[in-house]
A and B are shown apart, each in its own frame.
Chain A
Amino acid sequence: MTDIPVWLAIVVGLLSLAGALLTLVGCIGLARFESFYERIHAPTLGTSFGTVAVLLASILYFSVTGQRPAIHEVLLLVFVSVTTPVTLMLLARAALYRDRAERNGTVPPSVGQDIVVPPTDAKS
């Protein structure tokens, strides 16, 4: 363990707390929202500024204590912000396709060419 200056401890502590809090709020939203399409908005709290805050804390801590020059956390941000939207879009499109096929709720019709969706029995 290295001793760290007080200002660093405060800043790092606040940043990690802020990141953890944002991620927690995102998870609460995921549980609390009612429709699938609302739910896809909640986790992005954790993957955007939740991640940013935790990564900033990590960069500051390891750079100032001099254990290593720490900037490779930036890679994490790049990968997280590129991969999560792709997953969310895939999930949302799957939900959209199913809702149209089963005619659930108030899903708007396809914006493109009319995709012929065979009428299916919801139970089958």
Chain B
Amino acid sequence: MRRVLPFPVLTLALLAMWLLLQQSLAPGQIILGSIIAIFASRGLAALQPERPRIRNPASIIKLIYFVTVDVFRSNVAVARIILEGRRHEQTAGFLTVPLDLHDRTALAILSCIITATPGSAWLEYDSLRGVVLIHMLDLVDEQAWIDTIKNRYERLLLEIFQ
């Protein structure tokens, strides 16, 4: 099983993507999509990536909810900063956050969450020290941001992956 389908979830996701793109559930499309999905996931296996282990799927829903709410709030906040046109030099700044997260998949997800959220961007991560450098557009209360990242996202990602 492992040899034929090294990444079963990925294969299923690729098949689902294929069917969504074709907008059809015709048997021909299912067969074609399956062939593509199987070969593509075997192609990924050739790269020998780490296999992410999801321990707590329920937390994923919670994480998606948190991220949606936060991204919406940041959209409003950043749109306001842009439209008010006030001076930003005082409020934008760099922030270093120590992380307890070491799983590579979880770190990749965290970096995408932070960068996709308007107003914060993940700049560089050091795996030896476990420290990340983040740029914030509105850095008024450093500790509040560190708490948000650590308690909201990192805690959930730790539950999911480690």
Known A32-B82, A42-B82, A111-B133: A48·B116 in contact at CB below 8 Å = yes
Assembly CA distance A33 to B92 (angstroms): 11
Does A16 sit within 8 A of B, measured CB to CB? no
**What 9 A-B pairs have minimum CB-CB distances, sorted nearest first?**
A112-B126, A85-B115, A29-B82, A72-B20, A44-B118, A85-B112, A41-B137, A49-B75, A111-B131
Q: How many residues of A contact B (CB 8 A)?
A: 41
Q: What is the 8 Å Cβ interface bit string for chain A, positions 101-114, against chain B (1 contact, 0 not)?
A: 00000011011110
Known A49-B71, A72-B23, A88-B115: A110·B79 in contact at CB below 8 Å = no
Assembly CA distance A38 to B122 (angstroms): 12
For the complex formed, measure the closest distance between the CB of A99 and the CB atoms of chain B, giving whole angstroms: 11
Nearest CB in chain A to that of B120: its residue: A41
Assembly CA distance A13 to B133 (angstroms): 40
Q: DSSP majority for the A interface?
A: helix
Known A34-B88, A75-B17: A110·B120 in contact at CB below 8 Å = no
CB–CB A86/B112 < 8 A: yes
Residues from chain B with a CB closer than 8 A to the CB of A26 are 82, 118
Does B36 sit within 8 A of A, measured CB to CB? no
Nearest CB in chain B to that of A72: its residue: B20
By a beta-carbon cutoff of 8 Å, the part of chain A in contact with chain B is 22, 25-26, 28-29, 32-35, 37-38, 40-42, 44-45, 47-49, 68-69, 71-72, 74-75, 81-82, 84-86, 88-89, 92-93, 96, 107-108, 110-113
Does B83 sit within 8 A of A, measured CB to CB? yes
CB–CB A29/B78 < 8 A: yes
Q: DSSP majority for the B interface?
A: mixed
Known A32-B85, A40-B121, A92-B123: A45·B23 in contact at CB below 8 Å = no
Residue of A42, A48, A92, A111 most packed against chain B (CB within 10 A): A111
CB–CB B116/A111 < 8 A: no
Q: What is the 8 Å Cβ interface bit string for chain B, positions 74-101, against chain A (1 contact, 0 not)?
A: 0100110111010011001010100000
Cβ 8 A contact of A89, one of B71, B111, B118: B111
Known A33-B88, A113-B126: A45·B78 in contact at CB below 8 Å = yes
CB–CB B124/A111 < 8 A: yes
